[in-house]
Amino acid sequence: MKCAVVQFPGSNCDMDAVKAINHAIGESADIVWHTVASLEAYDLIILPGGFAYGDYLRAGAIARFSAVMEAVAREADRGKWVMGICNGFQVLTEGGLLPGALRRNESLQFRSEIATLEVVNAETAFTRHYRAGETIRIPIAHGEGNYYADEQTLLRMRERGQIIFRYAREHNPNGSVDDIAGVINERGNVLGMMPHPERAVHERLGSADGARLFTSIFESWREAYAKR
């Protein structure tokens, strides 16, 4: 599986994503600069965490107009897997590849801790190695993770199983609507999440629960590849 990790000026979780891919599925990953115009060679594209363009104006607002984002949209259209983590999630919502928006945390505080999540939908290419309803521990580190979508959009997302992760009840760290921590597009190939699965791929990091995201995509890719 060919993996790309996009690097914007201000990304800071790019190497964590590369190492997580190495560790969880034994594949290598290329770091791809934000000026690259084609991502055709890749099966999985990760938009990592950080503060692209300093989060100026709004988190993700400027990054989403970088050249590489046209390539990301094109590959997403072709059905390639795209995963936005934290700042990457913000870039995907700003760019319209995922519904909703991410606002300042309700507490106004930057929250850096291990969050308890519920896996809501385990029938996606990204979550097939989890069980629906399972509780997992994944770190968060963000000041703007307060997910918002209007009622109509939320209703549609619920109907289509687009809510993938929720913060455990009573443990919502940022005020997001419906305790949402991660969502997927309608087609099921673009995932965005505020928690950092790439920081949870080994018990020594505090949790290994994030590894199954990578093994899930890897198995999805193997299946798709075998059919070709």
User: What's the residue count for the chain?
Assistant: 228
* Separation of first and last alpha carbons in the chain: 14
> Residue 150, exposed/middle/buried by CB under 10 A (0-12, 13-18, 19+)?
exposed
User: Which residues here bind other proteins, judged by CB under 8 A?
Assistant: 57-58, 61-62, 65, 93-94, 100-101, 103-108, 146, 148-150, 175
Nearer to other proteins, 59 or 200 (CB): 59
Residue 26 or 96: the one with the smaller Cβ distance to other proteins is 96
By beta-carbon proximity to other proteins, the closer residue of 35 and 107 is 107
Least Å distance, CB 157 to other proteins, is 13
- Within the chain, residue ranges assigned H as helices are 14-25, 67-77, 87-94, 151-159, 211-227
For 9, the 3-state DSSP assignment is: coil
Q: Determine whether 23 is an active site residue.
A: no
Distance (Å, rounded) from C-alpha 36 to C-alpha 68? 5
Rounded least distance, CB 101 to other proteins, Å: 4
* Least distance CB 102 / other proteins (angstroms): 9
Q: Which is nearer to other proteins, 61 or 168 (CB)?
A: 61
> Following CA atoms 65, 66, 68, 73 in sequence, which dihedral angle do they give, to the nearest 10 degrees?
0
Q: Which residues contact 22 (CB under 8 A, 6 or more apart)?
A: 28, 29
Name which of 62 and 68 has its Cβ closer to other proteins: 62
Residue linked to tokens 């599986």 = 1
Which strands form 3-7's sheet, in the order they lie side by side? Answer: 29-33, 3-7, 44-47, 81-85, 190-193, 180-184, 163-167, 111-119, 135-142
The one catalytic residue in 3, 86, 118, 142 is 86
Q: Give the strand pairing for 146-148 and 101-103.
A: antiparallel
What does the alpha-carbon distance between residue 198 and residue 18 come to, in Å, rounded to a whole number? 8
Reply yes or no on whether 198 is catalytic. yes
Q: Would you please indicate which residues are annotated as catalytic (active-site) residues?
A: 86, 196, 198
